[in-house]
Amino acid sequence: MKRKIAMFFALAAAAAACSCGSSSNSLISTVLAPADGATNQAIDVAVTATFSGDIGNGTADIIMGLFKDGVQPSLCTTFDYNDNSHVATCNHDPLESDASYTVTVAPFRNIRAAVSNFTTAPAPAAMQLLEEKQAHDEYEEDGFDSEIEPAEGFDEEEWQ
C-alpha cells in the first residue's frame, strides 16, 4: 500500500522536473487538514489543502489524493479550489468508521509535497445500541420469544 503512494509521488516528481512554464522560483507550501496524526475524525470530515500561494484552478485534481489504507484510487470524487484563499477541497463520500486514511499533495511545478495520515472515529455507541436493538426486534418478530407452554401435568399453582 505504501508502495502505491510512493509510485504516485514518483510520477508527480517526474512531472515536477519540467519547468512547465513556471516563472516563480519560490516554493508553495501546503497545510493539510485533517492534520497529520489526527484521530477520531468524523466520517464526513473536510479534507483540504491550504496552499501558501495560488496553484491555479484545476491543479488540485492532478496533485491531491485521499486514500484508505494507502491504496489507490483516490476517494476524492470532485475538487473545489478557492482562488482567493488558495484552499483546495477534496469532496468525498462518507468515510468508513474506525479506519486509516492518507491525504497527499504530490510535488508539482513549484508546489511542495505534503502527506497527512488520520483515522476516523469508531462507530458511535448509540449506533451500536441501535444495531443491537434492531437485531433484537428482528428476533422478536421471528417468534422466537413466544411464551413456552408448560409441560403436560404441570400445575402452576403448586409451583408458586
DSSP 85-107: TTEEEEEEPPPPTT-EEEEEE--
Which pLDDT does position 147 carry in this prediction?
61
Which pLDDT does position 149 carry in this prediction?
67
Pinpoint the alpha helices (H) of 21-124.
60-63
Q: In this structure, what are the phi and psi dihedrals at residue 135, rounded to the nearest 5 degrees? A: -65, -40
Sheet holding 30-33, edge to edge: 30-33, 47-51, 87-92, 76-82
C-alpha cell at 126: 448509540
Q: Domains in the chain, please, with CATH? A: 2-120 (2.60.40.3710)
Mean pLDDT (10-residue bins), the chain, 160 residues = 47 42 71 97 96 92 94 95 96 95 95 96 72 69 59 69
Which pLDDT does position 131 carry in this prediction?
67
Which pLDDT does position 6 carry in this prediction?
47
Encode burial over 64-74: b for 16+ CB neighbours within 10 A, e otherwise: bbbbbebeeeb
Which pLDDT does position 134 carry in this prediction?
73
Which pLDDT does position 146 carry in this prediction?
55
Given a contact cutoff of 8 angstroms between Cβ atoms, the answer to whether 108 and 59 are in contact is: yes
- Residue whose entry in the numeric block shows the C-alpha cell 511545478: 109
Beta pairing partners, 100: 119
Whole-prediction pTM value? Answer: 0.65
Which pLDDT does position 137 carry in this prediction?
72
CA distance 108 to 55: 10
Q: Which of 41, 121, 49 is nearest to 91 (CA)?
A: 49
Which pLDDT does position 35 carry in this prediction?
97
